Amino acid sequence: MNPVLTPSTVNEFVEAVRSHPRVLAVGAGTKPRLSAVGDDVVRLSTAKLSGTTEYEPEEYTFTALAGTPVREIAAALAAKGQYLPFDPFLLEAGATLGGTVAAGLSGPGRFRFGGLRDFILGVRFIDGLGRELRLGGKVVKNAAGFDLPKFFVGSLGRFGVLLEFTFKVFPRAASTLTLRLPVPDATAALALFTAAGLGRWEADAVDLLPSGDAVALRLAGPEETLVVLAQEILTRFPGEILSPIAADALWQSLREFRWTSPEDTVLKIALPPAEVPALTANVRVSDGRVHVSSGGNVAYVALPGAADPRILGVPALTLRGSTPLWINPVTAPAIVAAVKSALDPFNRFPGL
């Protein structure tokens, strides 16, 4: 069993990294497969490294420590009429800011405004030599050289111990409205995704639900405008407008993975929209379920524990389950190895 240390200050994290040949920072464990490592790796919990260190509502930026629960950040932003447009996952489950960045997970809101990496401005971390470093800045107009903070998004903690982040945020829309649009199959869902991307609706989110029989389309903006757009959409794609309570429950269910079973193997799969029909067919054959998000650019798959995810035939990342971390892996770009060598020359952190 991996030992778990819980440093409470940055200096203690630096000392812990320097004192152990193999380490990995871990958050709240909401995506357990990402922190399942060999017995030689000491895990460093960020539980005590929590709190917002700087928040400038008028500048639309905040800085917070890695162990800060994302739900606390969301609540603080909401009090000022602001939010994280990329719709972070697993807020109610306790996901931390560091774990969210390391996992690189973006929710349904990615469709309109982009993913997590489009909102990160700066990062503070400890590299494999035990050095405390800062990359990026704390204001939006501060770009010089390589935008390395984005490189840590989805890095799984393999380049360093992430300590602190700065993000830009957006003002929250005055109103939202969600439509449930039935579809006979994934091919019809793909046509709807395409229409949403090319149309004038500026949809906030467009997802194929795990039930496979409907697409959820969310609009955001002035209430009177949303009603007009909704009627236009329903003329082309028959469906229904969900009540605010039903809509909130639906999006929360997707963000919290409540459509999965605790025994399921849960995977993240990046894909082009054209591959959505084939993937959904393969998942159904495996008695699984799939939530296709961001207009068909990413899928979250839940397979029964006994199913072999390799039969899906596509590269995937295991978020939960006992299968390998990477399924059907592809060769990483050369720059990944170069950055890994520069930041962690002695392989103190697990490899990718």
Structure confidence at residue 332 (pLDDT): 83
Helix (H, G, I), strand (E, B) or coil at 317: strand
Which DSSP symbol is given to 183? -
Contacts of 91 (CB under 8 A, 6+ apart): 69, 70, 71, 74, 255, 256
Structure confidence at residue 2 (pLDDT): 72
Structure confidence at residue 140 (pLDDT): 62
Structure confidence at residue 333 (pLDDT): 87
Q: Distance (Å, rounded) from C-alpha 276 to C-alpha 289?
A: 13
Q: Distance (Å, rounded) from C-alpha 67 to C-alpha 75?
A: 16
Q: pLDDT tens for residues 131-173?
A: 999 998 776 655 555 678 898 999 999 999 999 999 999 999 9
Helix (H, G, I), strand (E, B) or coil at 301: strand
Q: pLDDT tens for residues 80-136?
A: 999 999 999 999 999 999 999 999 999 999 999 999 999 999 999 999 999 999 998
Task: Choose among 266, 146, 129: nearest CA to 210.
Answer: 266
Q: Distance (Å, rounded) from C-alpha 349 to C-alpha 351?
A: 6
Q: pLDDT tens for residues 243-301?
A: 999 999 999 999 999 999 999 999 999 999 999 999 999 999 999 999 999 999 999 99
Residues across the chain = 352
186-198 and 276-285 helices, crossing angle to 10°:
150
Which DSSP symbol is given to 48? T
Contact by Cβ (8 Å): 156, 24: no
Reply yes or no on whether the pLDDT at 174 is more than 90. Answer: yes
Confidence class of residue 347 from pLDDT cuts 50, 70 and 90? very high
- At residue 279's C-alpha, the angle toward residues 278 and 285, to 5°, is 90
Which DSSP symbol is given to 212? S
Q: pLDDT tens for residues 303-343?
A: 998 889 999 999 999 999 999 999 999 888 888 889 899 99
Phi-psi region of 6 (alpha: psi -120 to 50; beta: other; left: phi over 0): beta
Q: Distance (Å, rounded) from C-alpha 148 to C-alpha 161?
A: 15
Q: Distance (Å, rounded) from C-alpha 300 to C-alpha 317?
A: 10
Which pTM does this prediction carry?
0.94
Q: Could you identify the residue written with the tokens 């395409």?
A: 194
Adjacent-strand bridge partners of 316: 327
Structure confidence at residue 168 (pLDDT): 96
Q: Distance (Å, rounded) from C-alpha 245 to C-alpha 124?
A: 39
Q: Distance (Å, rounded) from C-alpha 149 to C-alpha 63?
A: 13
Structure confidence at residue 146 (pLDDT): 64
Which DSSP symbol is given to 2? -
Structure confidence at residue 3 (pLDDT): 76
Reply yes or no on whether the pLDDT at 227 is more than 90. Answer: yes
Contact by Cβ (8 Å): 206, 295: yes
Mean pLDDT of 225-251: 97
